[in-house]
Structure formats: C-alpha cells, structure tokens
Structure 1
C-alpha cells in the first residue's frame, strides 16, 4: 500500500501541478530515502531541471527531466507526495523538499522510510534500477490483451494470489486489489494459476481492469491509517467498495450467504468468500 490506483491518482496530480515546473533547489533530510545513490546525487540531479511530465509503471512514479535523466519515486508502505505553497507547515517525516519556480514546494513524506527518490539514466535503467526494468505488463498504462494474461497463467503453477502479487507478471497489484480482483473473478486465491480455463482467465482479465479503473476513478483506497492521500492531501474512497479485503467475519455483500474468511496465501493475509469463490 499504496498500489496501482493510488499511485496513478498521485501521478495525475503531479501531471497537473508539477509537469512543466523547474526545480530551483532541493533539500534532503533523512538519507535513507536516497539510499540507492546519495543525498548529493539527488540534489545535483534535480537542481535547475524541469519536470517534463509524470508517468507511472506499476507502483513506480517516473518523471522525465529536461536534463535527459528521470526522477523515480516509490511510495512503498507509507510514502506521500504533497504539493503546497512555499513556507507552509510541513508534516513530520518530510524527507525531500523540491522548491519550484512558481512559489510552491513538492514534498516527499515517509514516516516508515521504506520509500525512495532517485535520479537515474533511463538508458541504463537495468543497472541503476533493476526492479523497474524487470516489471511485467502494466494493465492500465500499457496494452494488456487477454491473450497475454492467458499465456502468463498457463505458464506458472503459482497460486493465483502470489501470481497477482508478482510484479514480473502484472505490475502494480498489491494485497488489497489482488483480493478484490479474485473475488470479482470468482476464483479461490490458493488455486494454481495454470488450472484455470479460458473462461476463468477472461473473468480474471476483466476484473483486473474493472477493479483498478473503478478505484482510480474515486482516488484509490485510504485505509484506517490514513497514510495514503493524493498530492493535495485528500483521501480516496474506494475502501467503501471493498467486498472482501479487511472484512473478515462479515457477511459477503455479493452473495449474501457466505462469511468472509481470512487465510494466509503466499505469505500474505488474504480475504475471500467461500461461496462466491468455490
């Protein structure tokens, strides 16, 4: 958390408010967020550059710069990217501040410091950012035909839940949306991927697209910790539409008969309805 819908919501805010802005100065506090390179590398790589646009691959925010390099931001567990007027009170755990040419600031805030900010050479991404180079298909940002998903599931005996969480297959899906997608697909999370037929694969494909797009439309999911917000500090509301995630012991709102159960699948807490997902 955040997952693809939350990161896409942040990307859209950055495209509106950061793209085209020149970064005049950069402050870096906690060095853990620049651990892949260094404080100096981030400051040198961003100062006096212009952000051309905001892009996304999976859970990674990518902002090409007019220098030819790109800035990558990964929110991981608790990261936030916020935009505010210069001089506004900054939240605790604001680790990177970008001072922009229009009198605003872009903050990277991360209480748990698992997130990171990096400037890298896109031509050398496989060396500088291997996880980004190894990402699978992004079901929203790229072409994602049903036939591609069919080939993926036929080629692995992984259970469906770990399959959806594996970023080298489909990029951007995490624990929340894997549970919701499998419920919509009427598929058990522990079922081996290569045992589902073509019809089930088509349901899975449709659920991936539909669930992710529906969440993006309402700004993603903000859970009880309220750590995910968009660039203006606003919460999402898709958590109100969750059918199984975080609803252990509740009656299934889809079938009205099953009770939501929690198991561990692929080492992750997993929620499903035993009636809908036989």
Structure 2
C-alpha cells in the first residue's frame, strides 16, 4: 500500500499539473470504486468543477473544488492516479476518468486523469466538507500528520508513552500517527535502534526524540526520492514513474540478509496478525519494560523469508 511519502509524491504531482484546471467531464466504470456514494454522485460532483488545491492528510488525497465540495482519493493497496493525454489507451482496471481542460496560462494541454485500481480497494469520493463527519468520518479520526502538522517530540511522547501497545502497531495506528505503514515503521524503528516489540510505556525521552528525528529524516528523504516502488511495481507517481527510496531501505524486505547498518546482525522477520515486521537483533536489542502492568499482547511468530 502506498504510504505517506508515496501519497505526498502524488499530491505534489497533482499540485503541479492539475490544480487550477476545469474537469469538463467524468466517467465511472466500476461501482465498487465509488461505493461510498454512487457513480452519479461522483460524475455530477466532478463535472464542471475546477480543482482549487491538492492536499493530503495521512494517506488520503484531498482536492477542494470551486463548487464547495472536496474530492477525496484513497489509493489503498493497488490504486494509482495517472495523468495522460486525451484518447490514450487506458490500462486495465481504469475505474474513474476525469477529463481536464487545457490551461493556457501554465501551458498544460487538455489531459485525462485516471484512477486505476486492479484490486478495487481504493476509493474516489466527492463530499461536502461541512458534513465530513458523516460522509468521511475516518478523516476526523486521523492522528498527527508527520509532515503536514506542526508538532515535535513532546507531542509524540504524549501519544506513545501512555500506551502499553508495542511500538510497531503504535506507529501503524492511523489514530496515533497518520500515514505510516509497514515500510516506514520498520525503517524508522531501525534507525532509532528500538525493538518493534518495546511497549510505548517503556520509552524514555531520548527514545522519543530519536523516533521523531528519524521519522522526519526518513519520510522527507523518501519524498525527495519519489517514494518506494517495490518489486510488485504497484506504486508509481502521476506520470507513471517509480520511486527509488527502496534502494535505501535498511531492513524492510531484507529478511535473512546481513544488516547493512551494523554488519553483524542478520535481519529477522516477524509475523504478527498477518503483518510483517523487519528488524536487526543487534541494532534493535529488546529491553525490559519499566516496572508496572504491561499488556503482553499476542504471541509473535519468528520466520524467515520474503517480506511480502
């Protein structure tokens, strides 16, 4: 699933090429993609609207329209937004098409914006932001956004240190920190030298500072690299190009390999509730929790092999 850096890369592409343009017509080819409302609601909500901005909240793309509504796109597992010239051959599983007028001031010719999604887990929604709590209530429940919000180690410590949950699921909890998934949670915890099973209540202040600093460093570096495109090549940017940050992964996808950080440990892979976690047992040694009741959580099974 595209995570914060990948979605931010797509957002920046929309900001450069789509903001300010009129949507002359819209097509919907698969009801499941617009399941939250209907095909007619999306077509009528987009047709004749001009895109005013390209925003992001966690993994959600948001585009306010001059009609007062907002377009929301969630890529989920396999969704892609692709910009193409009009009439180009559309890839299979193109479920929504937005026809964009040319923009003389910026030199943009007419174009088509496609939403492509083989597994149809993604969504395209047009909603009234005044009724967002009813139409897209999950947006209101999102936690702090690492790149969009003004916050620091103090706020992060408040979120993490009062919970007995293990660090890896804590970072994946979109109600705590919005936008981080498997890839970047593994990379952040490795860089911070913290074991993924360490409870939040066991964190010291310096641990929180390291998590915050590495979160900022890694997410910004990935955005500069255009995100991570894995072997399945599901994630690409608006122009169909892959990212390159996968070349800088230290542990994710490297199970069974020598740790390139310390040169001594062998990267391990854990499976917990169907999710993979990668870490180096030398760089990220377990630590005894602070005295007091700590919920142990479910047992974790150690395995070796691929990350997918």
Q: Report the counterpart of residue 160 of structure 1 in structure 2.
A: 167
Name the TM-score, length of structure 1 as normaliser. Answer: 0.99
CA drift at 1:267 = 4.2
C-alpha offsets along residues 86-122 of structure 1, whole Å, 9 cap, x if unaligned?
0111111000000111120000000010000000111
Secondary structure of 2:27's aligned partner:
strand
2:187 matched to 1:180? yes
Residue of structure 2 equivalent to 1:257: 264
Runs (4 or more) in structure 1 with deviation over 4 Å come to none
- Equivalent position of 1:201 in the other structure: 208
RMSD value over aligned CA atoms?
0.7
The count of aligned residue pairs is 278
Report the Cα offset of residue 52 of structure 1.
Answer: 0.2
Distance 2:272 2:194 in 1: 13
Match of 2:240 among 228, 233, 248: 233
CA distance in 2 between counterparts of 1:57 and 1:217 reads 18
What 5-or-longer segments of structure 2 have no aligned partner?
103-109, 286-308
* 1:71 aligned residue: 71
Q: Partner of 1:132: helix, strand, or coil?
A: helix
Give TM-score, length-normalised by structure 2.
0.89
Q: Which runs of 5+ in 1 are unaligned?
A: none
Pairwise CA distance, 1:144: 2.0
8 A Cα contact 1:162 1:265, kept in partner: no
The residue number in structure 2 matching 1:85 is: 85
Q: Name the stretch that deviates more: 258-267 or 214-223.
A: 258-267
Using the alignment, how far apart are the partners of 1:269 and 1:73 within structure 2?
A: 26
In structure 1, how many angstroms separate the alpha carbons of the residues matched to 2:19 and 2:151? 27
Matches within 5 A, 1:1-20: 1-20=1-20
Query: What secondary structure is seen at the aligned counterpart in 2 of 1:50?
Result: coil
Which has the greater radius of gyration? 2
Deviations 1:198-237 (CA, angstroms, capped at 9, x unpaired): 0011001111111100100000000001010000000000
- Which 10-residue stretch deviates more, 109-118 or 260-269? 260-269
Aligned to 2:303: none
